Amino acid sequence: MAIAYTILGVILSAIVIAIMAAWRVMVWMPGRKPRRNAMPPLSDRERQVREWLETDLRALADEIGERHLQGRYSQLIDATALFERTLTEAGYAFQRQEFDVDGRRVWNVETSLSGSADAAPSLVIGAHYDTVPGSPGANDNGSAVVAGLALARLLANSRPRHTIRFVFFVNEESPYYMTEAMGSLRSAESMRDRGESLMGMIALETIGCYLDAAGSQRYPVRWLGYLYPTTGNFVAFVGLPGARRLVGRCITAFRRTRAFPSIGGVAPGFIPGIDLSDHWAYHHCGYPALMITDTAPFRNPHYHTRTDLPDTVNYPALAKITSGLTQMIRDLAS
């Protein structure tokens, strides 16, 4: 009997150690987690950022609206004109990565801020600009697109050591996700095929919904609710395997700004929602990649519906996050 208890003790100890190791690898992230009390007032600079965000998002989701190949092709093209004009006004030169899908020409829009170290790996900041049919896509993914444009403006006069690439992707949504028609996969394959070295890729994905009601946050598997908050007032840094170091560096730099509450973790793609954005494409091509998100369907009642409108986006929170991401990117690229 003593031997049996000893064996049982060893087994239980091994289980506890395995759970602690999994927590350390998948859930624990460095840096102090800021508490969300009342959000502090926006600074003068953040008010300017908020104005950019709201103006651009209303142009994208109200004036242009749905953007996809299922009957809204011209709106898809109109969206690229908005990005290209905004980037040009900010002093950037842009390039198109063009390809044909179902007999129609589509493209990613890319610009870059050249680094001072020629051999240093680049950092990619990306967001998809298409929508699902029936939705104007203010939060999915207009919030991320306009944040990407604001980041480009805010960083325009920076002199980073690492080149920063801003890419706006076509065709992330179904039926193109995980196919050769997916814009981010075309982008990642192009970088891989020309041998480009990347320090990492950051996908901005639905970052405009923040709720203070208890129980407003859900998770793809129930047990995550015991590890993470159940109030949907934080931004999440989510990585696929191989991106743990990148996630840790990003969330540490973001938390240093104390801009906004954040959580972070790394998990395999079989957990629902973990790989549902453009970071999947870069991970697929061998690059470390993560998604920064408000968790989309696990929080936002307007996700993929006709009510995903500009008035549902939390602009003060989005401005705070964008400002925090600006400093985070500066730190990563320095």
| Residue-range domain boundaries for the chain | 1-30, 39-333
Residue 9 confidence (pLDDT) above 50: no
Distance between CA atoms of residues 258 and 324, nearest Å: 8
CB 329 within 8 A of CB 123: yes
Q: What is the pLDDT of residues 74-130, one digit of tens each?
A: 999 999 999 999 999 999 999 999 999 999 999 999 999 999 998 899 999 999 999
Residue 169 confidence (pLDDT) above 90: yes
Residue 177 main-chain phi, psi, to 5 deg: -55, 135
Q: Whole-angstrom distance between the N-terminal and C-terminal Cα of the chain?
A: 62
Nearest 5°: the CA angle 160, 162, 165 is 95
Indicate the fold that domain 39-333 takes in CATH.
Answer: Aminopeptidase (3.40.630)
Q: What's the pTM value of the predicted model, to 2 decimals?
A: 0.91
Residue 23 confidence (pLDDT) above 70: no
- Cβ atoms within 10 Å, residue 52: 18
Q: What does the block give as tokens for 294?
A: 């408000």
CB 68 within 8 A of CB 131: yes
CB 287 within 8 A of CB 200: yes
pLDDT of residue 108: 99
Least confident of 123-137, 157-171, 222-236: 222-236
Q: What is the pLDDT of residues 253-277, one digit of tens each?
A: 999 998 899 999 999 999 999 999 9
